[in-house]
Structure 1
Amino acid sequence: MIKLKRYEKLADEISALIREGVLAANDRIPSVRQACNTYNVSPATVFKAYYLLEDRGLIQARERSGYYVREHVQQALAEPAMQAHDAAATDVDVSELVFSVLGSLKNPHTVPFGSAFPSADLFPLARLARSMSQGLRQLSPHAIIADQTDGNAELKRQVAMRYMMTGVMLPMEELVITNGAMEALNLCLQAVTEPGDLVAIEAPAFYASLQVLERLKLKAVEIPIHPRDGIDLDRLEESLATLPIKACWFMSSFQNPIGASLSDSSKQRLSDLLHRHQIPLIEDDVYAELHFGFRPTRPLKGYDNDGLFMHCGSFSKCLAPGYRVGWVAGGRYTQKLAQLKLMTTISPAIPSQAALADYLQHGGFDRHLRKLRHSLELQQQAMLAAAARHFPKSTRVTRPNGGYFLWFEFPEQVNALKLFQLALAQGISLAPGPIFSAKRAFNHCARLNYGHPWGKTSERAMEVLGQIIHSF
């Protein structure tokens, strides 16, 4: 586990109070003396924590008055409620809708609120290029061939070390390097299901998971999720007791599109439930490194005691979009996953693996992540503040503690697909709610991406969106 310095831990605790609304905009945070007494720390520790919170853009000093929560942290819009959802099995047929939406987002001049990626400007592309050169120079002729089947050994070692930082001790032999997380997730489903099987997914769910189910001719059992707490475990337990579910595909941290994360106690309960029924879990955890604050999230894989869970990750969202390098920690299914990979794509590109292995060793990955998380947290606050200014007051929005998506629930008369078309005509993209459901539900909802640097263009786009929404 990462050992936090005392001032970092204090800053993390106060940051959480601000995000959760305990400390609201313009509230005075504890004085240095009060913080020293409350947290049993020195004045120097408090000052360092407050300087860090200032750097994050969460508080500001007022002359002769103390420190206050910044105004742009104001959360004027309420949080969405968890929607009731029929848990019956559903045939999946969403690809045409998804492709029609995604195909219209390719214009580089469009404001990218509908994008699935953060801005490439937030990634160390030049440093990665140097790692590509260095990694290729170090590749032996033997490794160029051997790594196609086994994966780059140094990359696997570095990934295993990232697991160690979350408290999960994982043998390198359990890792299968894949062409991004999507291949890993596809392989996992193929390893544990047959056409016609039922798979439990979240509602709303990442649209790519729906497309995978559609391609493999699997049926979706949609389990509602709370916008903050994640999967409805009571509903899942009922579904497992009444339906022949063969696998679950869930995101435990910063779920796309909602942004919800499971608490440690919920992860333990979910693990116990799945082990009791012996239902394999496919954990899609591509946003795990994008937590706000210093404390990493522990994956559900860390609650697995007999290899029932498959944990999928990727560098695409936190470091290297386009390199197409992901992995799966396959547990008891590792050998089958490796064989399925060899029967399809064989291997991710060897140069990409070598580049990432070198970067993780020498490029300052954690330094990059701290900067990236800081940028995303500030951008989230800017989008929330803009939504509070421009959207109807009855709009509801999530407040995730990481990632780069917000889920908006608009007044019921708003048609998300029509909103998508009207916004696109104004040069603004968004991801409409129906693409995140096998039943094409969430008709008055949308996902917006705050993962791009905020400026006048972003602010104006939110204002225009607000005008369109008000017109319904």
Structure 2
Amino acid sequence: MASSVEQQTASPAASEAQIPRYQAIARRFAQAIREGTLAPGEKLPSVRRLRADEGTSASTVLQALAQLESSGLIEARPRSGYFVRARTSLPVPRPSAPGVEAGTPLDGVSALVADLYHSASDPSLVHLGAATPAPSLLPSAALARALAAATRRSGSGGVELAYPPGLRSLRRLVAQRLVATGCALGEDDLLVTAGATEAIQLALLAVTNRGDTVAVESPCYYGTLLALEALGLRVLEVPCHPETGMDVDELSRRLDLHRVAAVLAVPVFSNPLGSSMPDEAKERLVSLLSARRIPLIEDDVYGDLAFAPSRPRPAKAFDRDGTVLYCGSFSKTLAPGFRIGFVAAGRFKERVEVLKFATSIATATPAQQALVQFLADGGYDRHLRTLRARLEQNVARVGEAVAGSFPAGTRVSRPRGGCFLWVELPPSVDALKLHRRAHDAGVAIAPGHIFSAAHVHASCIRFSCGEPWSERVDVAVRLVGRLAGQLVGRKGR
């Protein structure tokens, strides 16, 4: 599992001039570890030697070593120095294989999803099931200042309605960011929504009718399945590879068998797998659906959480005829409570805007104004650099804890972005039973049952890595591993 500093080594050496000196040192050592130049168990040079070799201060060297240590690449041994850690890993999960029947989503598990939401506010639990970063990883104080400044500057305290499509200043800034990812969009192409959930719901309302079938990835985020159920839509599940995302060839075969009104996918850092489609696959996906006149609803809420220096291009970058309805949000990266999302609906733009007014009239004005302030002064990009590194460290540490404590036969995903790990347990382990036992022991996890309408992930769980790494989190992950070991061979008992 790649760490933050490991991924950063992929950037050109010239970029070292743009980062702090300690990070540049950490990058070089991370690359040496990744390439095997520094082997597991090998001792690093002393702080005194590194200080002399690098021509820098002891504090800079110690910062670099601290970053390597927090990323799980090295370990400090008392009175001995720093050593390359022996890194454990597990095979990646097998691609899911749901049948081709178009079924009804989430039969009988809505109550379980509600339990997860209720658990998210329980301070007694270790939260390894939530879908957002912990508040301590978010710039709460800076956002509060931006909110106060924005409402003062507006002259009205933010009480006026920002009618659809939303504040032009915010749409302009979002469009500029999307252009940098390869999307040919302007401010007039965007509509501000109450989070990505509303963006997706508006997109579904615009392109489907009750009773229609929507193709989704399997496993699929349970919130998406609930939204489909609430709208009276049916689900066609398509296998999703843990590393490369939705199987486009299999999607094409299933489209030949079923009449599908839309495809809803997360091409970049999917929830829960963390998979990311290669550009070639994204381009094929858009081309396939464009030729069949089937809209693609793209959920890109995790695209900004790439562990590499640059984020992958969304599928929308390959859209030439408005087939893709692109949905994004700041809820997973910046401010979940602000509920600010957006949709670029392509040829469905006018329909989506009317639906927005009909369903919620407008998105909260003060939150939009605060985001304008935060984006315009560079605060968002500075925050993202820190958040990406922290999340990657968390993902790496949770993955190593799983590798060291879960029963034989366990497989775990290796995402290159986002904040999730998908853990495939031995087939005899009932993930729902594991979820209940873990909850009773003080740990919240998400069982695989709720990520499929066809219930094909009964031996899988999703870990959220949004909690800062700590001894408490380490103990919780290893506790879940022990509980899973107790359930091996007990399915159905």
Same fold (TM > 0.5)? yes
Q: Deviations over 1:358-408 (max 9, x none)?
A: 011125211111110111111111111111111113110000001110000
**Aligned match of 2:398:** 383
For residue 6 of structure 1, the aligned residue among 3, 13, 17 is 13
**Aligned match of 1:26:** 40
**Aligned match of 1:325:** 340
Distance 1:110 1:202 in 2: 30
**Aligned match of 2:85:** 71
Quick one: which amino acid aligns to residue 104 of structure 2?
D
Distance 2:94 2:31 in 1: 21
Query: Is 2:215 the counterpart of 1:204?
Result: no
The aligned runs of 1:102-117 (5 Å cut-off) are 102-117=117-132
Secondary structure of the residue that 1:327 maps to in structure 2?
A: strand
Secondary structure of the residue that 2:444 maps to in structure 1?
A: coil
For residue 83 of structure 1, the aligned residue among 82, 96, 102 is 96
Distance apart, 1:240 and its partner CA? 1.3
Asked whether the 8 Å contact 1:12–1:293 carries over to 2, the reply is no
**Aligned match of 1:451:** 466
The aligned runs of 1:182-331 (5 Å cut-off) are 182-331=197-346
- Which moved further from structure 2: 461-470 or 404-413? 461-470
Q: Deviations over 1:8-56 (max 9, x none)?
A: 499989979988x98997298xxxxxxxxxxxxxx99xxx9xx979835
Query: Is 2:135 the counterpart of 1:120?
Result: yes
Asked whether the 8 Å contact 1:313–1:326 carries over to 2, the reply is yes
Q: Deviations over 1:439-468 (max 9, x none)?
A: 222111000011111111111112211211
Secondary structure of the residue that 1:313 maps to in structure 2?
A: strand
TM normalised by structure 1 equals: 0.88
Quick one: which amino acid aligns to residue 235 of structure 2?
A
Distance 1:445 1:290 in 2: 24
Q: Deviations over 1:397-435 (max 9, x none)?
A: 000001110000111111111101100111001000000
Secondary structure of the residue that 1:212 maps to in structure 2?
A: helix
Asked whether the 8 Å contact 2:33–2:84 carries over to 1, the reply is no
**Aligned match of 1:55:** 67
Secondary structure of the residue that 2:237 maps to in structure 1?
A: strand
Secondary structure of the residue that 1:312 maps to in structure 2?
A: strand
Distance apart, 1:59 and its partner CA? 4.8
Q: Given the superposition, is the C-alpha separation of residues 24 and 215 from structure 1 closer, same or farther in structure 2, using an over 3 Å criterion?
A: farther
Asked whether the 8 Å contact 2:125–2:444 carries over to 1, the reply is yes
Secondary structure of the residue that 2:337 maps to in structure 1?
A: coil
Distance apart, 1:293 and its partner CA? 1.8
Q: Given the superposition, is the C-alpha separation of residues 186 and 53 from structure 1 closer, same or farther in structure 2, using an over 3 Å criterion?
A: farther
Distance apart, 1:141 and its partner CA? 5.1
Distance apart, 1:85 and its partner CA? 1.5
Asked whether the 8 Å contact 2:75–2:85 carries over to 1, the reply is no
Secondary structure of the residue that 2:127 maps to in structure 1?
A: coil
- Which moved further from structure 2: 247-256 or 361-370? 361-370
Asked whether the 8 Å contact 2:119–2:125 carries over to 1, the reply is no
* Runs of 5+ consecutive residues of structure 1 not aligned to the other structure: 29-42, 63-67
**Aligned match of 1:134:** 149
Asked whether the 8 Å contact 2:215–2:264 carries over to 1, the reply is yes
Q: Given the superposition, is the C-alpha separation of residues 406 and 23 from structure 1 closer, same or farther in structure 2, using an over 3 Å criterion?
A: farther
Asked whether the 8 Å contact 1:184–1:327 carries over to 2, the reply is yes
Q: Deviations over 1:215-274 (max 9, x none)?
A: 111100000100001001111000112211010000011100111000011111111111
**Aligned match of 1:40:** none
Secondary structure of the residue that 1:235 maps to in structure 2?
A: helix
Distance 2:28 2:244 in 1: 19
Q: Given the superposition, is the C-alpha separation of residues 53 and 436 from structure 1 closer, same or farther in structure 2, using an over 3 Å criterion?
A: farther
Asked whether the 8 Å contact 2:151–2:158 carries over to 1, the reply is no
Distance 1:280 1:14 in 2: 46
Asked whether the 8 Å contact 1:325–1:352 carries over to 2, the reply is yes
For residue 175 of structure 2, the aligned residue among 142, 157, 160 is 160
Q: Given the superposition, is the C-alpha separation of residues 302 and 470 from structure 1 closer, same or farther in structure 2, using an over 3 Å criterion?
A: same
Q: Given the superposition, is the C-alpha separation of residues 133 and 281 from structure 1 closer, same or farther in structure 2, using an over 3 Å criterion?
A: same
Asked whether the 8 Å contact 1:112–1:428 carries over to 2, the reply is yes
Asked whether the 8 Å contact 1:15–1:58 carries over to 2, the reply is no
Distance 1:18 1:183 in 2: 44
Distance apart, 1:149 and its partner CA? 2.8
Distance 1:395 1:202 in 2: 22
Number of equivalenced pairs:
451
Asked whether the 8 Å contact 2:215–2:260 carries over to 1, the reply is yes
* Runs of 5+ consecutive residues of structure 2 not aligned to the other structure: 1-9, 17-23, 43-53, 77-81, 488-493
**Aligned match of 2:79:** none
**Aligned match of 1:413:** 428
Q: Given the superposition, is the C-alpha separation of residues 203 and 12 from structure 1 closer, same or farther in structure 2, using an over 3 Å criterion?
A: farther
Secondary structure of the residue that 1:147 maps to in structure 2?
A: coil
Asked whether the 8 Å contact 2:297–2:325 carries over to 1, the reply is yes
Q: Given the superposition, is the C-alpha separation of residues 336 and 80 from structure 1 closer, same or farther in structure 2, using an over 3 Å criterion?
A: same
Distance 2:174 2:36 in 1: 36
Distance 1:102 1:22 in 2: 43
Distance 1:138 1:313 in 2: 27
Distance 2:295 2:238 in 1: 16
The aligned runs of 1:336-415 (5 Å cut-off) are 336-415=351-430
Distance 1:281 1:15 in 2: 39
Q: Given the superposition, is the C-alpha separation of residues 171 and 375 from structure 1 closer, same or farther in structure 2, using an over 3 Å criterion?
A: same
Asked whether the 8 Å contact 2:267–2:300 carries over to 1, the reply is yes
Quick one: which amino acid aligns to residue 127 of structure 1?
A
Secondary structure of the residue that 1:322 maps to in structure 2?
A: helix
Quick one: which amino acid aligns to residue 253 of structure 1?
V
Identity %: 39
